[in-house]
Amino acid sequence: MPSLHAILSVALAGLALSATPGPSMLYVLSRSVGQSRAAGFASALGLCLGGILLAIATALGLATVFATFDWLVIALRYLGSAYLVWLGIGMIRGARSTAATDFTVAQVKSKSLMAILWQGVLVELLNPKTVLFFALFLPPFVNLGQGPAQSSSVTLQFLILGALVPLTAVPSDLIVAMLGGTMTKTLNTNKRAREVMAWAGGLVLIGIALSLHLGAV
């Protein structure tokens, strides 16, 4: 099992990323406004399921690689920390320009809820940035441990932490689906709040990356 510190850190990082307006939020918003609230919920569920499937596949692959190449653990720990810092700095640097951009919801073709759900799954599975995120984000939080149960323990940690990332995005996606047009208006009028959210999210990611090497995780 992953440590409580690791679980809390991954959950906090996931919330920081999901609460900041991005492609996934806009996708759910488009479905909610362009079709219906139920369609928004279906798209949010599809994104979550796709994220969990991708997390499982990535976790199993990384666990196998870790069992074969011990030296890769240390390399990915530092690389993953640097990636978190890079994400955080990017959020801070782009906070003002992102906040100044108006959200526009494109017209969407109405589909059945099941079709929308599967579309959400495919959108998440076929996103190469999501694959990169899991590959670099998860390793720093995994404790290899010792003994014959090491391999299964590492796999379990990867699976739990990996599934936690898309699950933390569910609350914000559901809120977006529920509020629909109100959310669009809110995001466009409260630009200062969006800038503050980006700054806060970026600082959280940088703080978590630093804590990995200060013994907090």
Look at residue 216 and tell me if it is in a domain.
no
Residue at 143: amino acid letter: N
Q: Domain residues for 10?
A: 4-211
Domain total of the chain? 1
Look at residue 217 and tell me if it is in a domain.
no
pLDDT tens track for 79-92: 888 888 888 888 88
CA 58 – CA 146 distance, rounded (Å): 22
If you write DSSP's letter for every residue of 36-99 in order, what string do you get? -HHHHHHHHHHHHHHHHHHHHHHHHHHHHHHHH-THHHHHHHHHHHHHHHHHHHHHHHTHHHHH
CA 22 – CA 176 distance, rounded (Å): 12
pLDDT tens track for 161-196: 888 888 888 888 888 787 765 666 666 566 777 777
Mean pLDDT over each residue of the chain, to the nearest integer:
77
| Cβ count near 143 (within 10 Å) | 14
CA 65 from chain center: how many Å? 22
Look at residue 105 and tell me if it is in a domain.
yes
For residue 150, is pLDDT > 70?
no
Look at residue 207 and tell me if it is in a domain.
yes
Look at residue 36 and tell me if it is in a domain.
yes
Look at residue 126 and tell me if it is in a domain.
yes
How does residue 22 score in pLDDT terms, banded at 50, 70 and 90? low
pLDDT tens track for 126-141: 776 777 777 777 888 8
Q: Please state the length of the chain.
A: 217
pTM of the prediction?
A: 0.74
